[in-house]
Amino acid sequence: MKTKNVSSVWGYLTFFSMVMAMVLVLSGSIVLAQKLIDLNGASQKELESIKGVGPATAKKIVAGRPYKSADELSKAGLSAKQVEAIKPFVTVGSAAPAPAEPPKATAKPATPPETPKAAKPAVSKAPKEAATPPAKGMVWVNLKSKVYHVEGDRYYGKTKSGGWMTEDEAIKKGYRKSKQETKTQK
């Protein structure tokens, strides 16, 4: 009689294990079946539907377009942890703004390039001492306040959220010059 009980217990355990395995497989399929969101084509609302992406992060993602891979989200100011959390839910397709860039690239070779690829500012934490510009004539752009600082300015290369670009690029992107007097003006 004990052998029958033991075999029926094993039967129930086997059945329960199979049911649990099916539930786990199906729940994984549901996650995989979710529609991936295109970083280059999604609206801000669509980006906000991703777990962990709020209005501020969605704006950063939209502002940093176009992307070639999800790893480039860091150029939009997202932390490595945020990028890793978002990766499973996004894809990178071709962007509408991308075709507009090649004409700019053909126009630039007519004039000698002043800087090596300063199109997008590199976001960096503020060092205690001023950061050194990658090329002469660059301005330091504070990404949060939309103000740029020239060489000799008190905050040149020192703000927490900032990056390097040419003065012309800063003006084209809507940044304004600092009202701070430089050391040479005093």
Identify the residue with better confidence: 31 or 141: 141
Q: What is the pLDDT of residue 20?
A: 81
pLDDT tens profile 23-70? 766 665 455 546 888 988 889 999 898 888 999 999 988 988 888 888
Quick one: how far is CA 142 from the chain centroid?
17
Q: What is the pLDDT of residue 97?
A: 45
Q: What is the pLDDT of residue 25?
A: 66
pLDDT of 11 > 60? The answer is yes
C-alpha 126/C-alpha 158 separation (Å) is 5
- Tally: H helices and E strands in the chain: 6, 6
Which one-letter DSSP state was computed for residue 108? Answer: G
Identify the residue with better confidence: 24 or 13: 13
**What distances in angstroms separate CA 12 from CA 3, 4, 17, one per listed residue?**
14, 12, 8
pLDDT tens profile 100-133? 444 444 445 555 555 555 555 555 554 456 677 7
- Predicted model pTM: 0.36
Least confident of 90-99, 129-138, 140-149: 90-99
